[in-house]
Structure 1
Amino acid sequence: MKFIKGVLLFALLFILLVGCSSNSQSTSANVSNKSTSDQPGKKKIAVLLYSHTFQFMVALDQGIRNEAAKQGVDVTVLDGQSNSQTQLNQIQDSIAKKVDLIILDPANSDEIAPGVQKAKAAGIPVITVDGVVSKGANVVSSIAFNNEEAGKMAAKYITDTLGKGTALELTGAPGEYHAILRGGGFDKGLALDSGFKVQTKNADWDAQKSKSITADSLTANPAIKAIFTHNDDMQRGVLSGLRQVGKFVPAGKKGHITLVAVDGTPDALNRIRSGEQDATVNQDPFVMGSLAVDTAVNYLAGKQVPKQQFTPPALVTKKNVSDPNLWGNKFKGN
C-alpha cells in the first residue's frame, strides 16, 4: 500500500511540473510573436495604393513607410493592382481589422466612392494621396499634384522649343483624374499658341499601346514635331515606335521629335541624359507620401488639417537633370 501511494504521489508531481512548463513556454511564445501593430496606443493606418507597377508608385510607398517610421505609426501597404474591385475589397478588409485611418490612392475616382462611404460609416477616416474620389464621398484631406499646371508646363516647353507645328498627345486612361487634368492643362497650354495643333489619342498609360500609336501616327502624319505622354513610362513605347518607322533622331540633331512627359522617373532622367527624351515634369512621390502620413498623424491627434494640399510641378531638362534633390536621382529601387 505504501508503494502504491508513493507511485501515485510521484505521478501527481510529474503532471504538475509538466503543466507548469507548458504554460511557461506558451506565454513566452506569445510575447515573442507579438507585432508592433499590437502595441497599445500605436495607430494603425492602411495604405491602399493604385499599383506597384510604376517606379513612381514604389517611391510613394517608400515615402509613406519612411515617414511612418519617423512618426511612430504602424502602416500596412497594399497593392491595388490598378483595379477598383481589388481596392474595394481592401477597404472592406481594413474596416474589419478596425484600422484607425486609410490612406488611399484610388484606381478610379468614381468606382471607389462606395468604399470610402463604407469606411466613413464605420468611423474610419480616409485621406487620398495622388488621386481623388468623386464628390459625395467626403475625405479628410486630399494630397495631390497640380496635374493641370504640369500639362501647361509641358505645352509651354514644346511651344517655346518649336514655335509651331503638330503635337501628338498620348493620354492616360479615359476618365481618370490625372489624365483629365494633365490633358486639360496641355490642351489649354497649346491653345495659347495658335501655331500649334494637337492630335490626342488614348494609350491607357501603357507603353505597348504607345508604341503602336506612335508608329501609326507618324506613318499617317510625318509632320508631327512633338509627342507628349501623360506619364514617363509611355515614353518607352514612343521611342520604340519611332525606331520602328525610322523616325528616331537624338536630341540636338536635325529631324529630332521633341519628347515630353510627366513624373520625373529615374528612367526618364536617364533618357534625358542620353538625348532620347527632352523633358519631364517632376512630381515628387517622396514628398507626397510624407505629407500624407503627416496629415494622417495630425488628424488622429485631433488637429485641423487642410482639406486639399498640392505639391508643385517642376520642369526637368538636360540643364537640371543631375539635381540631387530630384526624386528620380534619390530613388533606390524596390
Structure 2
Amino acid sequence: MKHLRSISRRTILKRSVAIAAATLIVGGLSAPAGAIAAVPTAKGKSVQYVTFGLQFEYQVAMVDGIKKRAKDSGLNLETVDGKGDPNLQMTQALDAVSRKPDALLVDPVDAKLITAGVKKANANNVPVFMMENAPPEGKYDALVEFDNQAGGAMGADTVAKLVGDKGTVLELRGSVDSAQAQARHQGFIDRMKSKYPNIKVKSLNTEWNADNAYKMVLDALTQDPDIKGIFSHNDEMVRGVISALRQTNRLVPAGKPGHLFIVGLDGTPLALNRIRAGTQDASVGQNPVAMGSDIVDAIVAGFQGKPYPKSMHIEPVLITKANVDDPTLWGNFERKK
C-alpha cells in the first residue's frame, strides 16, 4: 500500500510538471493566460486630421472619402478645416497634437510651416501621416501623393496638341509656397521647353483662386487677344477663366472658330460638366478617393502592427470629351444615372 501511494505521488508530480511546461510553451514564460488572445486593433483609436481646405471640390471629395474609410475601420476621426491658410494650419496641427491623439494626419498647404506640428508630434510619440506634401524636416510614417510633375507634363502635351504646337498660352499657378504647385509648374515648363519651342508660356501666380484667375486672365486677354490656350493648376480656377472669357466675348464652345482651349487639373464634377458643355477641353485627373483610402489603410495597418507602404503615388489620367462619362472617374461618383 505504501508502495502504491509512493508511485501515485511520483506520477502526479510528473504530470504536474508536464502540464506546467506545456503551459509555458503555449502561453510564453511571462504572459498571463488572458494575454494570449490579445491582438492589436485600430478600433477606437483617435486620429486628428488637419485638412488642406474645404473650399475646393477636390478636397471635399478627399475628406468625405477619408471620413467614410475611417468610420468603416472603427477609427475616431476628428477633422479641422485648414481653409487653405498655412498659418492657420500650423496652429491647428499644434493644437491637434496637444489633444494627444493616437495618430496625426495632415494635408499641408505649406510643408515648411507644418514642420512645427510634425516635430511636436514626434516629440510626443504621435505617428504622423502625410498627404500630398511632405515636410522638409521631422519624421512621418507614410505619405500618399499625386505625381504632380507628371500631371504638369500631361497638361503641357494636351494644351500643345490643342493649339497646334504654336502660339501663346497661359499657365495659372497654384500657391508659390506649395510643393504641389511647384511640381506642376516644373512639369509643365520643362515639357514645353523640351518639346514645343514654338509655344510661348506666360505664367500667372493665381494662387489656386478663381477670383485671382478671373482678374489676371482678364488683364492678359486685354493685353494679348491672341492667346490660344490656358493650363490651370486646378479646375477651381477655371471658373474665373470662364468669367473672364464671357466678359471679353471670347467664350466660344469647343469646335467653333475662336474657341480658346482650356485644360484644368483635378477632374472635379464641375470640370466634367464643362467638358460635356464644350467650355473646357480637358482635365488632368487625380483620384482623391483612392488617395484617402490608401492613407487610412496605412494608419489602420500601423495600429494593427502590420506592414504598410511608406510612400504611395497616384498617377494622372487625361479626361476629355471621349471619356468624360467614365463611371470610374471620381467626378462622376455622385452623378445620377
Query: Which TM-score band (shorter chain)?
Result: 0.7 to 0.9
Task: Find 1:238's aligned residue among 231, 238, 241.
Answer: 241
1:53 aligned residue: 55
Q: Work out the CA distance in 1 between the residues paired with 2:112 and 2:224.
A: 36
Q: Kindly indicate whether the alpha-carbon contact (under 8 Å) linking 1:154 and 1:260 is maintained by their aligned counterparts in 2.
A: yes
Partner of 2:222: 219
How many residues align? The count is 293
Q: Distance in 2 between matches of 1:85 and 1:119?
A: 17
Q: Is the 8 A contact 1:59 1:331 kept in 2?
A: no
Once the two structures are superposed, what CA deviation does each residue of 1:180-222 show, in whole Å capped at 9, x if it has no partner?
0111111112121112110011011111111111111111111
2:168 aligned partner: 166
Secondary structure in 1 aligned to 2:113? coil
Q: 1:212 to 1:40 in 2, by over 3 A?
A: closer
Aligned partner of 2:24 in structure 1 is none
1:263 aligns to what? 266
Give the equivalent residue in structure 1 for 2:4: none
Alignment of 1:125 onto 2:119: no
What's the secondary structure of 2:111's corresponding residue? coil
Separation in 1 of the partners of 2:95 and 2:171? 39
Residue aligning to 2:95: 93
Cα RMSD (Å): 1.6
Corresponding residue SS for 1:294: helix
- SS of residue matched to 1:110: helix
In the alignment, what sits opposite 2:145? 144
How many angstroms apart in 2 are the aligned matches of 1:126 and 1:322? Answer: 37
Give the letter aligned to residue 252 of structure 1. G
Counterpart in the other structure of 2:8 = none
Using structure 1 for the length normalisation, give the TM-score.
0.84
Of 194, 200, 205, which residue of structure 2 is paired with 1:202?
Answer: 205
* Match for residue 274 of structure 1 among 274, 277, 280: 277
Give, in angstroms, the shift of residue 40 of structure 1. 10
Could you report, residue by residue, the CA deviation over 1:23-76 in whole angstroms, capped at 9, with x for unpaired residues? Answer: xxxxxxxxxxxxxxxx99621111110111111111111110111122221111
SS in 2 for 1:225: strand
The answer for unaligned runs of 5 or more in structure 2 is: 1-40
Structure 1 residues without counterparts, runs of 5 or longer: 1-38
Aligned-partner residue type, residue 307 of structure 1: K
Matched to 1:196, the amino acid is: I
Indicate conservation of the 8 Å contact 2:42/2:75, yes or no.
no
Amino acid at match of 1:157: T
Identity of aligned residues (%): 39
* Alignment match of 2:73 (pick from 71, 74, 83): 71
1:264-299 C-alpha deviation (Å, 9 max, x unpaired): 110000000000000001111111111110011112
Q: Which residue of 2 aligns with 1:26?
A: none
Question: 1:40 & 1:302 partners in 2: Cα distance?
Answer: 10
Aligned counterpart, 1:305: 308
Q: Which residue of 2 aligns with 1:182?
A: 184
Distance in 2 of aligned mates of 1:206 and 1:81: 12
The aligned amino acid for 1:120 is N
Task: Kindly state the Cα deviation for residue 139 of structure 1 after the two structures are TM-superposed.
Answer: 0.9
Deviating above 3 A after TM superposition, structure 1's stretches of 4 or more consecutive aligned residues are none
Question: For 1:54 and 1:67, how far apart are their aligned partners in 2?
Answer: 20
C-alpha contact (below 8 Å) 1:127/1:142 kept by paired residues: yes
Within 2, Cα distance between the matches of 1:221 and 1:157?
22
Q: CA deviation at 1:306?
A: 2.4
Normalised by the length of structure 2, the TM-score is 0.84
Relative distance call for 1:97 and 1:175 in structure 2 (3 A) is: closer
Distance (Å, rounded) in 2 between the aligned partners of 1:40 and 1:247: 54
